[in-house]
Every structure is written in structure tokens, then in C-alpha cells.
Amino acid sequence: MFRSLLKEERGYSLIEVMVSIMILAIAILPMMSMFDMGLNSATAGSNYDKARALANLKLEEAKSLPFTDVKDTFPVAGSTPDSTSGYYDSNFIPVTGTASADFTNFDYRVQKQFMKQPLQAPTSSSESFVLCNVSPSTCSAANGPIRITVTARWGDGNMYTVFGLVT
């Protein structure tokens, strides 16, 4: 009786099982590359967000300092812009201090440029401030605003830039 039950049971043949495994493998391989692409996109987005946070952090640091400190010592001591061009470029600086753990493989560059207000009322919004390297002899570094440009860079050469005025 038990033998007769076994003879009536039908199962899958080895060929059917092998074909189904191959079909699953063909379907799963493209999905694996899709997960890899998603992981790479998430990493790139994370790096962009970290660079944005670092650049904004350094810009806000400059805005919170007294004007003379921004002019003379930000981001490092002796970082006064050139008197003839009104321009200073710090080159890239690695992140140090308590924030360095959050920004591994990131560095930043600070560019400063003196600006001056025009002598007469501006006729358009583009004339409200003049960059000093346009006419350095008319610049007054003692009281004019400084345009701060912070560029954050990470491992693969991508960059994020933000700028603001410090008065």
C-alpha cells in the first residue's frame, strides 16, 4: 500500500529544478547591480550633504567672529588679503578639532576679498558693492565688507562652494 502511494506521487525532475535555478539567477543578477548603484548614489548624496554642512559651518564661523579677526586671522593666523588685489586664498585646509571625526576625507578652502560701497547711490542692484581687485586703489580694508567664499572638497575631487559677506 505504501508503495502504491509513492508511485502515484509525482515530483520535479532534476532538469526542471536546474532550469528554474537558472531563471532565478538571470533575474537576480541585474537586481544586485541595481542595489550597488543605489548604495553608490546614497554615498554620493551623503558626501554632498557633509560638504554642504562643512562649508556652511566655516562660513557661519566667519560671520560670528569680529571683523578684525576675520580680516587678519580667519581661517588661519596671518591670512590678511593682499593690499593690491584685495584677495586672499587659503588653499585647502584639512578639518581639525572636534569636527574632524565628522568630516574625514574632507578639506576646505577660504577665499576672502575686500569690497567697497560705491561713492554715490547705486542705479542698479549690481552696483551695490564693488570688488576691490577691480580698482584696488579705492579700497579701504579697514571698514569695507569682506566677501568670504568657502569651498569644501571631498575624496573624489567633488566640491561644494558657498559665499557670504562679513561686515
Q: What is the pLDDT of residues 55-94, one digit of tens each?
A: 999 999 999 999 889 888 899 888 878 777 778 999 999 9
Counting residues of the chain whose pLDDT is more than 70, the rounded percentage is 78
Domain ranges (residues) in the chain? 14-166
| pTM of the entire predicted model | 0.72
- Residues 112-128 have pLDDT tens digits of 988 876 666 656 655 55
Say whether pLDDT at 6 is over 50: yes
**27 SS3 class:** helix
CA dist 102 and 9 (Å) reads 63
> Strand locations in the chain, DSSP E?
87-94, 106-116, 130-131, 146-154, 159-166
Cell output for 105: 576625507
Provide the pairing of β-strand 130-131 with 106-116.
antiparallel
Cell output for 86: 584685495
- Within 8 A by CB and 6+ apart from 9, the residues are none
- Within 8 A by CB and 6+ apart from 151, the residues are 55, 108, 109, 111, 159, 160, 161
